[in-house]
Structure 1
Amino acid sequence: MKSIRLATAALAAIALTSPLALVAAAAEVPTSGDLSAGHAKKDTLRWVAPKGFYIGTAAAGGGHHESQPYPDPFTKDLEYRKVLAAEFSSVAAENQMKWEYIHPEQGRYNFGMADAIVDFARKNNQAVRGHTLLWHSQNPQWVEQGDFTPDELREILREHITTVVSRYKGDIQQWDVANEIFDDSGRLRTTDNIWIRELGPGIVADAFRWAHEADPKAKLFFNDYNVEGVNPKSNAYYTLIQDLLAQDVPVHGFSAQSHLSTRYGFPGDLETNLNRFADLGLETAITELDVRMDLPADGVPTAEMLAKQADYYQRTLSACLNVEGCNSFTIWGFTDKYSWVPVFFSGQGAATVMWNDFSRKPAYHALQCTLAKEAVERGEKHPHLPKCA
């Protein structure tokens, strides 16, 4: 493999790009987000993916982006939007549907950005994943510091879920209803999750019921990190979901975020874990995949590091493809330019499938070839499949 080097020393100090094509068959970045112009038939992820399989990404915006030295990515970066439209058949709001963003004050909603994402998806024939309705993090201060009775807090949550889900009824395919409700030991977050702490564990079932009432056709998911393998945390979800299903609570899916790191081994029992949830009659999904790495002093990953990252991406996708009902695969951002990883993990980064300039890493090609091969195995014919080993 060719060595990796940056276009300029300045870029090396600031951010990662790829001046060299790492794979000879790499296609040019699409120049338009208008799929009616034929860009769905280009050399992209969504074009080679099997029919009915959603390859998605988060739409960058809100959260940590608001403190970075660049304008809002989703609304201001035209090239970003072009790639977002051309490459992906599904989008999720990275932060724009979280409580602090969409419901910043009591009695006032901020739907502008969420509406824009849904409208963008509709125009580009993309599905939408809703993220998220009940979470311990990124709640507004008026919720966390409010002097509410349990009845008042319960009504606040019910009204929020009903309002948000109803607004996007028919437009959102899947909702992350309950996000990260267990700690890594498999215990409910009864301290830092205001909803569970103040209202009890039964509020989780109510959240699913309210979301289902607001949009009976949307698929409703539990979503968490560090649940890729069979471990105390995923076991806790397995037990809880069985209990909820026995009570006819409308739980439809279980999803693994899959924020992975090459510092650690790959979760080799991912497929086994997803299969046991599928055996309960649930859909499964990969919802927030990225693969971060410890960067060398010069900030430039070696060829070996990139190959290991590509392997993690490919194995995650293959696990999903091998599980019946795992039809939604979302990466948490597609370009290092807007990745959350360097902001939260010092010395780590290069976690996505594209460099800052939207050129493609080995991880991108690993995903593309895996999708293409799966499509062929399912008997689908494509006139423009990538060249894969």
Structure 2
Amino acid sequence: MTASAPYLDEPSLGAAAKFRLFGAAVSVNHLSEPPYTHILNSQFTSITPEVEMKWDATEPAPGSFSFDAADTLVRYAHSHHMRVRGHTLVWHTALPSWVNESADLLQAMRNHIIGVMQHYTGHISYWDVVNEAFDEDGSRRKSIFQERIGDLHIEEAFRVARATDPYTRLCYNDYGIEGINAKSDAVYGLVRDFKRRGIPLDCVGFQCHLLLGTVPPDMQTNLQRFADLGVEIHITELDIRMPVPASTAELQQQAEDYRKVIQACLAIPHCTSITTWGITDKYSWVPGTFPGYGAALLFDENYKKKPAYHAVLQALREAPE
């Protein structure tokens, strides 16, 4: 690795973020790639495991836990002075088949939360306890948890999580709630209800998987109303996809979109963490899920900084102390 490599010529996003965390979703499979780890180490201050802490990875059989891959990421993060965001305990996807066959799903959910959180007590700064529990129209998602346990499952998940680890911060995480709409209204109602009733919920994660040119104009207003409920605001899975190959104009639009998202967070003192869903376009989830789209992250497939990187860095530098 030489000093002229394209990823060595800028200050750190993590340092520019000051008291906020600036993190990335990370896969253990890529830690053997030097450009990947160099950018991770030099640019970011927190790690979210992409898949290594999901249910199918951590409890593939009832009561049989497997933490090797996740442990590797946690050790890596701590050895490089990074925080870890646990992702995720209760989600309708990435479930092993036995969960669907469980005779007592509520108890299985409790056991899973306890088993995973006890293993990582003292090592995780934030947990995404429940992920994506609402549909776009604001109704509860018809997940196996909703169908068989009902509304109680969200509340119970947070209660069990707090009882298991009283010191980590507990978050609800979802997509499509960046602006004011039916879905964000429903999540807002849940958070307000939980805060009123004393159900432990410390933070709300706004995923921000966005399409080019679609940053909601009311995003800051929306984040502020959640902050006013007394929760931390986190940008948890930020990427901005576009048709590929991307034009110069589209890359500039992406830079402006990233700037808008970062500035919306920076305007709110309670917005304490920003995470991009990956490091490089080389390993982004977008092309596999949205055929014909990609180029969603701050570094291109060759680890070169894109205009969006420089826009984010500038926005972070300009934020008040």
Instruction: Give me the TM-score of the superposition, normalised by structure 2.
Output: 0.95
Equivalent position SS for 1:284: strand
- Taking the TM superposition and a 5 Å limit, the aligned residue runs for 1:20-39 are 28-30=6-8
Q: How does 1:39-118 map to 2 (within 5 A)?
A: 43-50=11-18, 52-60=19-27, 72-74=29-31, 76-118=32-74
Q: What is the rounded CA distance, in whole Å, between the counterparts of 1:365 and 1:265 in structure 2?
A: 20
- 1:325 aligned to 267, 270, 286, which one? 270
Letter matched to residue 293 of structure 1? M
Q: What SS does the aligned partner of 1:120 have? A: helix
The residue identity in structure 1 corresponding to 2:303 is: F
Secondary structure in 2 matching 1:220: strand
Match of 2:316 in 1: 371
1:174-225 deviation digits (Å, cap 9, x = unpaired): 1111110000000001x3x111211111111110011111111111111100
In the alignment, is the contact (CA less than 8 A) between 2:284 and 2:296 conserved in 1? Answer: yes
Matched residues in 1 for 2:54 and 2:98: separation?
14
2:128 — aligned with what?
176
Among the aligned pairs, what percent are the same residue? Answer: 39
The size of the alignment, in residue pairs, is: 318
Structure 2 stretches lacking a partner, 5+ long: none
TM (normalized to structure 1)?
Answer: 0.79
2:166 equivalent to 1:166: no
Partner of 1:208: 158
> Match for residue 196 of structure 1?
146
| Whole-Å separation in 2 of the counterparts to 1:353 and 1:334 | 7
Query: Counterpart in 2 of 1:65?
Result: none
2:241 alignment counterpart: 292
Question: RMSD over aligned Cα, in angstroms?
Answer: 1.6
Matched, 1:339 2:288: no
Paired residue for 2:304?
A: 359
In structure 2, the CA distance between the partners of 1:211 and 1:370, relative to structure 1 (3 Å rule), is same
CA contact (8 A) 1:27 1:43 kept: no
Partner SS for 1:356: coil
Q: 2:26 touches 2:279 (CA, 8 Å); kept in 1?
A: no
Distance 2:51 2:139 in 1: 26
Please say if residues 60 and 338 of structure 1, whose CA atoms lie closer than 8 Å, have aligned partners that are also in contact: no
Q: Secondary structure at the match of 1:183?
A: coil
The answer to whether the 8 Å contact 2:6/2:303 transfers is no
Of 184, 200, 216 in structure 2, the residue corresponding to residue 267 of structure 1 is: 216
Q: 2:80 aligns with which of 99, 124, 127?
A: 124
2:191, 2:201 within 8 Å by CA — same for their partners in 1?
A: yes
Q: Does residue 136 in structure 1 map to residue 92 in structure 2?
A: yes
Residue 246 (structure 1) shift:
2.0
Residue in 1 that maps onto 2:139: 187
- The structure with the largest alpha-carbon Rg is 1
* 1:243 corresponds to 2:196: no
CA distance in 1, matches of 2:118, 2:170: 14
Quote the residue 1:3 is aligned against. none
Change (3 A) 1:183 1:120: same
Aligned equivalents of 1:304, 1:247: Cα separation in 2: 49
Q: Which amino acid in structure 2 is aligned with residue 266 of structure 1?
A: V
* C-alpha separation in 2, matches of 1:158 and 1:278: 28
Partner residue, 1:308? 253
1:286, CA displacement in angstroms? Answer: 0.3
- Cα pair 2:280 2:297 within 8 Å, conserved: yes
The alignment partner of 2:162 has SS state of helix
- Classify the secondary structure of the residue corresponding to 1:317: helix
Give the superposition deviation at 1:30: 4.5
AA partner of residue 257 (structure 2): Y
Runs of 4+ residues deviating >3 angstroms: none
User: Where does residue 208 of structure 2 map in the other structure?
Assistant: 258
Deviation sequence 1:109-146 (CA, Å, 0-9, x none): 120111111111111111111111111111111112x1
Cα distance in 1 for residues equivalent to 2:17 and 2:204: 22
Q: Greater RCO between the two (CA within 8 Å, min separation 6)?
A: 1
Aligned to 2:84, the other structure's residue is in SS state strand
The CA deviation string for residues 215-270 of structure 1, in whole angstroms up to 9 with x for no partner, is 111111111000000100000011111212222100111111000011x5321111
Give the deviation of 1:274 after TM superposition.
Answer: 0.7
